[in-house]
Structure 1
Amino acid sequence: MSTSTTLNIIFISSNKNKVREVKSILADNLPIQIIPYEVDLLEFQSEDPDDITRAKCIEALRIISSDTNWIATNLNPKTSHLYSSSLNQCQNTQVTSTNPSTTLIMIEDTALNFDAWGGSLPGPYIKWFIKSIGPHGLFNTLQAFPDKSATAVCTFAIYTKFMPETTIKLSTIIQCMTRGVIVEPRGDNGFGWDPCFEPDSGPNMNIPLNDARRLTFAQMPSSQKNSISHRSKALLNLRNYLIKKYFSK
């Protein structure tokens, strides 16, 4: 694909904050159009983010395929060619692909894992924890535990097919992480659990825990958060993949 051609990415999300972050990182100075498709997908039960992301993609493909009015308004299905490939750039997996498409479908899943809870919970259920108890409640759940360490995990999957008669195969999956600690909420920026997540990297690197100089995601400007967050790491890996795949010829 030449740089004069636009790569359309349908991003399945009802979270406008995530859409904004995706646009600012993935489409920066590239002919990429992020097309949000707002739908609340079923919450699939698994502790494996890869399994959840795959299941979400299958569900999203089913919904989009039946939404003929939306397709007619936003896409030309005849331009959507199919291919299969695999990728996990965070783990340096070899990439193979054929028949590149100009229309992709993208799913994101976020997990937050507490070391004190075995390293896998709340995990992918963090969305419902935040909706139910908020950042202050999340912080309070760890008050009985001396270890407040946590890992933020972001998983992206991209598919290039939304035709219901074809077998759904994974095209691209990327997963990246950011280590940090859960603290009493501070800051007005960001969204979700940003106010109670204090990353160990970026401006907090080499600053001891419980030091007032440490910042939560919600205390950082978006540009600073986007330089170290789990989502930005995954998006930058995905961006590099897209450049090599679609814009380097």
Structure 2
Amino acid sequence: MTTTTPPTPSRPAIAAAPGLRDRRSNPLREGALIAGRDLLHWVREPWGFVFGLAFNLMLVLMFGFLFGGAIEVPGEGDYIAFLLPGMFALAMLFGLEATMTAMAEDSKRGITDRFRSLPIASASVALGRALADLANSVVGLAVLMIGGLLIGWRPTTGPAEIALGVVLLLWLRFALLWVGIFLGLRFRGTGATTAVQVLVWPIGFLSTVFVSAETMPGWLGVIAEWNPVSATATAARELFGNPTGVTSGWLAEYAVLAASVWPLVITLVFLPLAASAYRGLRR
């Protein structure tokens, strides 16, 4: 007489359940924890942030007091009042290479791979970096605004308009964060970081940050007007009650709309690209 032993349930069947980790995870909570880790690095090594902020303040002082007397604002108005909102927008762009460098370094040192091995959602790592960089940008923008107040810049509108102007500046920064995250995951070499640092300059200066597009040659003015940094700078000037340097054209009427739509388009393009680059990482 023989007996048959019932088959033992296969243990890998449990582990093979797709998406089990993600269903139990909380991307917002996990992203906040990872953001705390990134912020702790800034607290321990604050010099990159401090030097970046000092560089922006130096540009304000140089253009405001060294060149400002020779620059006229179309439609009249004080140049310092025109310059400061543009510098706020430019500061949102200048942080792009820092985000790229941080993501690239985490990837090269294997930190990103360690995160990938944990039972957390795939979006948590990039979201954590975005939250940390955004918090960094809030502090940097606050310091720049205080510095502007000390040298004579004044917003002349109400609290609601000023708050909306700040939100649009941070909205641009949030969109550009995904560009930096994607580039950091996709291109991890030193040469790529240097190339981005070089490219940020013409993008920032080929805008209405320092001068009005109406003072540029026709074709150059059109390019400057369609720059997302120009849209945010002009919208911030309008909402802060400062001279916009725009007397006619679509930017004079739709600056706030353009400053809302441009970052949305950038986010819709680069957030999926960043997610795809993260999923495509190999150990």
TM-score by length of 1: 0.31
Higher-helix-fraction structure: 2
Q: Which one scores higher on RCO, CA 8 angstroms, separation ≥ 6?
A: 2
| Rg larger for | 2
TM-score by length of 2: 0.29
